[in-house]
């Protein structure tokens, strides 16, 4: 927590509240993400993790509190302009474009930011280096990819906008352990090699906390715990709730 | 549950004939059970009031036989012509012939279209029909932007056709503006109305969007009927100027085109001119659409059709994307409307009923939601087919309905159901996205 960070964080969420109609999903959330960090956000179903990610992206809007990115207040910035600030997200459930080819899906990611032909090529190279399977399947329709390939495509698509901050919502959702490990390895590679800052929302707390430098635990729209990944992994309440399957009857 | 379920699945598709035979036998058995009482046995009140009956096993046998044979034929057609993602049992030569036809169909059609006035110069009826077909091709291509690409179900497209037609009619009759000045104006006005419609329906999807656009189409028509002082109400606008060839009228007089060229005047000249005019306008629509599909805005339209949430996550401005789709589609509708007005010389609200919207929508859906060639083929078959069956007036709708049902069974995604990708990474990878083979490379 107080690990001597004098520099301003890349993303700072302060006292953010957000609601869907009358249902308040975020009740004053504080989160900081420093440049070059992987931060995991874990919590039970319905805790508000996806909502937080989307609120950072401006939809739903924060009703109170501020969101600062790179020293700039982005609380009121429209969704489509936030993508231009080189924040990318891969939403929950992958949501690739099923009838469009892999190449087109990736291009959609690049369209979000004005990028030169060379930058686009470089982006593609990077995605294909990370996920060689996508390269074999550039002409295939997105909807016919396997679940794991779709997740790779979703991450690849987000990377095509050359983000500084990548937000991933449950990238291991519905994936076999081996494929999930590949995805986590790819995230680690991106972080180490390219210095990409990552916010990862996960149900798979064990994996996510091992991957992450720091983690936050969210319960009912509030952050209840925070610490380094290994600290959180040691906490008995985390082990009980998320790791040892203590709750699924 | 078991292998006996008659649903063909592509993985476990049994080898052709046994499966077809089984399916046909099942159909025949069902027909036998159904018809043995309905057809096989006839009952009637006898002369003494008792019930008498007689049998018609011959008819029954004929019917069951028909069902059996018909089922085989349908299944064969279905497998030969089946949806694109299904394995086919088409023999190799037929397959290569079909892919050959597929590659050359569009250019052949285009060449044929250019030659129509030459081939059918003396057949006024065919020329008129071709103009009609091309008008619907253009409308289909215009609506295709909204429905096929952006996936916004618009049931009121005729409103923009009407706006275009009335824009030209009123501007030309009141201010004496020429067709070539009015054409862009008609497009701009229609696009403006497209945006106007777009705003309130931004948040709507699917059914709700369809209902609102339907109402919008009707509102425009009702406004036209009731705003008598401007639009002439139900009487319409007449005396709309004919188009000129960039200022030179196509009339018999001394300053007419025929006189200037030193050839004999013929009323066919105007028809031929109109033909090439609408052909050019339709091709322009097509060209613009194809170009737009390769630009970020066109890709955004298609992405919007696929997944709105993902579009937001990628930072696409959903609002402007939807509005530009509406505006672009409406603009082409407006162009077509202006053409319609100048061709008819007279317009009234009767030409802009919901039926027109439905027809254009049917063309887009039958054509395959997004395929340019499919839309053109669908317009040709629908409008041409309508005319073909004009002789048997009472059966026309019946035949039409059956044809539509059959088409949707065989080609549930429309005539041309696959969409051509717009992004290629390398030349040698520019193969169709349907041709997916596993394990190569
Ligand atoms: N579009 C919406 N409209 C209304 N309520 C919503 C909407 N989206 C989410 N909610 C509610 O907000 C709360 C938080 O949901 P959220 O999706 O953020 O949870 P989550 O932590 O991502 O859960 P999960 O792990 O299941 O994905 C839930 O109670 C949910 O029912
Ligand atoms: Mg979630």
Could you give the ipTM of this predicted complex? Answer: 0.89
Q: Residue B226, exposed/middle/buried by CB under 10 A (0-12, 13-18, 19+)?
A: exposed
Q: Which of B85, B108, B131 is the last residue of a domain?
A: B85
Q: Which residue of B has its CA nearest to A92?
A: B310
Q: Atom 7 of ligand 1 has which residue's CA nearest to it?
A: A20
**B357, pLDDT greater than 90:** yes
**Which residues touch A19 (CB under 8 Å, ≥6 apart)?**
A25, A26, A60, A63
Residue of A43, A47, A61, A221 with the most ligand 1 atoms within 8 Å of its CB, for mutation: A47
DSSP B75-107: HHHHHHS--TTS-----HHHHHHHHHHHHHHHH
Measuring CA to CA, how many Å separate A49 from each of B39, B315, B321? 65, 20, 29
- Does ligand 1 lie within 6 Å of residue A23's CB atom? yes
What residue ranges do the domains of chain A occupy? 1-86+165-249, 95-163
Pairing state between β B346-347 and B237-238: antiparallel
Residue with tokens 């707390």: A205
* Smallest Cα distance from B416 to chain A, Å: 14
- Structural domain contains residue B282: yes
- Domain count for chain B, please give it: 2
pLDDT mean over B4-25: 60
- Expressed in angstroms, the distance from the first to the final Cα of chain B is 36
| B128 and B269 assigned to the same domain | yes
pLDDT tens string A90-119: 999 989 999 999 999 999 999 988 888 899
Residue of A27, A50, A201 with the most ligand 1 atoms within 8 Å of its CB, for mutation: A50
The kind and range of the H/E element at A167 are strand A165-169
Kindly determine whether residue B313 and residue A99, on different chains, have CB atoms separated by under 8 Å.
no
Question: Could you give the residue ranges of the DSSP H alpha helices within chain A?
Answer: 49-56, 79-82, 102-111, 117-130, 132-136, 147-159, 177-194, 205-211, 229-234, 236-238
Cα–Cα nearest to B143, from B329, B285, B291, B328: B329
* Smallest Cα distance from B29 to chain A, Å: 38
The CATH number of the domain holding residue B128 is: 1.10.3470
| Cβ B270 vs Cβ B115: under 8 Å | no
Mean pLDDT by groups of 10 residues along chain A of 249 residues: 64 96 94 96 93 93 95 93 92 92 94 87 93 94 94 95 94 91 94 95 91 95 94 89 57
| B257 and B141 assigned to the same domain | yes
**B440, pLDDT greater than 60:** no
Distance (Å) from CA A76 to ligand 1 centroid: 21
| B193 and B291 assigned to the same domain | yes
- Structural domain contains residue B347: yes
pTM value? 0.81
- Structural domain contains residue B148: yes
**Is domain A1-86+165-249 classified as CATH 3.40.190.10?**
no
Measuring CA to CA, how many Å separate A32 from each of A13, B183, B378? 6, 57, 57
Pairing state between β A38-43 and B51-55: unpaired
pLDDT of residue B419: 76
Q: Atom 1 of ligand 1 has which residue's CA nearest to it?
A: A20
pLDDT tens string A34-73: 999 999 999 999 999 999 999 999 989 999 999 999 999 9
| Cβ A148 vs Cβ A182: under 8 Å | yes
> Which residue, among B83, B298, B310, B428, would best test binding to A if mutated, counting the most A CBs under 10 Å from its CB?
B310
Range of the domain at B233: 120-410
- Does ligand 1 lie within 6 Å of residue A26's CB atom? no
Q: Atom 29 of ligand 1 has which residue's CA nearest to it?
A: A46
- Structural domain contains residue B21: yes
Measuring CA to CA, how many Å separate B236 from each of B121, B177, B228, B348? 32, 19, 9, 4
Distance (Å) from CA A50 to ligand 2 centroid: 4
B286/B300 Cα distance (integer angstroms): 18
pLDDT tens string B258-299: 777 778 888 888 899 999 999 999 999 999 999 999 999 999
| B49 and B141 assigned to the same domain | no
| B148 and B282 assigned to the same domain | yes
SS3 A73: strand
| B38 and B167 assigned to the same domain | no
- Does ligand 1 lie within 6 Å of residue A226's CB atom? no
Tell me the pLDDT of chain B averaged across its residues: 83
- Structural domain contains residue B440: no
Q: What are phi and psi of A57, to 5 degrees?
A: -85, 0
Q: Is B42 on the interface with A (CB under 8 A)?
A: no
| B52 and B187 assigned to the same domain | no
Report the percent of chain B where pLDDT is more than 90.
Answer: 44
B34/B380 Cα distance (integer angstroms): 39
């Amino acid at each position: 927590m107080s690990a001597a960070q004098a520099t301003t964080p890349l993303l700072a969420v302060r006292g953010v509240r957000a609601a869907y109609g009358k249902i308040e999903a975020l009740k004053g959330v504080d989160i900081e993400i420093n440049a070059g960090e992987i931060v995991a956000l874990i919590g039970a179903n319905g805790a508000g993790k996806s909502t937080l990610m989307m609120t950072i992206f401006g939809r739903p809007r924060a009703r109170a509190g501020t969101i600062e990115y790179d020293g700039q207040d982005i609380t009121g910035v429209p969704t489509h302009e936030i993508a231009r600030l080189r924040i990318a997200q891969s939403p929950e459930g992958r949501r690739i474009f099923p009838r469009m080819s892999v190449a087109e899906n990736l291009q959609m990611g690049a369209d979000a930011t004005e990028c030169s032909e060379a930058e686009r090529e470089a982006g593609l190279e990077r995605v294909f280096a990370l996920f060689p399977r996508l390269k074999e399947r550039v002409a295939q329709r997105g909807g016919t990819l396997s679940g794991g390939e779709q997740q790779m495509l979703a991450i690849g698509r987000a990377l095509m906008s050359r983000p500084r901050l990548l937000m991933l919502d449950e990238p291991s959702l519905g994936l076999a352990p081996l494929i999930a490990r590949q995805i986590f390895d790819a995230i680690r590679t991106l972080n180490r090699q390219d210095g990409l800052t990552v916010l990862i929302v996960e149900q798979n707390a064990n994996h996510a906390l091992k991957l992450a430098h720091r983690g936050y635990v969210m319960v009912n729209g509030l952050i209840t715990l925070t610490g380094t990944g290994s600290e959180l992994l040691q906490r008995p309440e985390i082990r009980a709730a998320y790791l040892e399957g203590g709750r699924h009857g | 549950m078991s292998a006996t379920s008659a649903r063909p699945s592509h993985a476990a598709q049994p080898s052709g004939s046994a499966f077809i035979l089984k399916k046909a036998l099942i159909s025949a058995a069902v027909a036998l059970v159904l018809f043995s009482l309905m057809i096989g046995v006839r009952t009637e009140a006898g002369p003494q009031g008792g019930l008498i009956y007689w049998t018609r096993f011959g008819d029954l046998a004929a019917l069951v036989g028909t069902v059996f044979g018909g089922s085989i034929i349908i299944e064969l057609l279905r497998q030969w012509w089946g949806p694109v993602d299904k394995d086919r049992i088409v023999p190799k030569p037929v397959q290569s012939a079909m892919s050959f036809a597929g590659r050359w169909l569009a250019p052949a059609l285009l060449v044929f279209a250019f030659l129509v006035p030459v081939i059918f110069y003396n057949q006024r009826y065919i020329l008129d029909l071709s103009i009609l077909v091309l008008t619907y091709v253009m409308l289909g291509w215009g609506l295709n932007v909204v429905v096929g690409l952006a996936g916004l179900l618009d049931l009121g497209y005729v409103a923009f056709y009407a706006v275009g037609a009335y824009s030209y009619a009123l501007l030309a009759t009141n201010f004496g503006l020429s067709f070539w000045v009015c054409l862009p104006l008609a497009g701009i006005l229609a696009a403006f109305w497209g945006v106007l419609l777009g705003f309130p329906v931004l948040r709507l999807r699917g059914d709700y969007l369809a209902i609102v656009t339907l109402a919008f189409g009707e509102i425009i028509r009702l406004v036209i009927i009731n705003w008598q002082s401007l639009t002439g109400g139900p009487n319409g606008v007449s005396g709309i100027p004919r188009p000129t060839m960039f200022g030179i009228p196509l009339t018999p007089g001394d300053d007419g085109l025929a006189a200037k060229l030193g050839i004999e005047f013929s009323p066919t000249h105007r028809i031929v001119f109109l033909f090439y005019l609408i052909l050019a306008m339709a091709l322009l629509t097509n060209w613009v659409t194809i170009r737009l599909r390769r630009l970020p805005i066109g890709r955004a339209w298609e992405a919007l059709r696929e997944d709105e949430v993902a579009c937001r996550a990628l930072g696409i401005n959903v609002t402007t994307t939807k509005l530009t789709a509406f505006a672009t589609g409406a603009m082409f509708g407006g162009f077509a409307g202006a053409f319609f007005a100048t061709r008819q010389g007279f317009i009234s609200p009767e030409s802009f009923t919901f039926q027109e919207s439905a027809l254009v929508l049917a063309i887009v859906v039958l054509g395959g939601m997004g395929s340019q060639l499919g839309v053109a083929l669908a317009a040709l078959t629908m409008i041409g087919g309508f005319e073909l069956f004009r002789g048997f007036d009472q059966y026309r709708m019946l035949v039409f309905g059956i044809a539509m049902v059959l088409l949707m069974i065989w080609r549930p995604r429309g005539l041309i159901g696959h969409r051509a990708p717009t992004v290629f990474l390398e030349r040698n990878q520019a193969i169709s996205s349907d041709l997916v083979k596993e394990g190569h490379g």
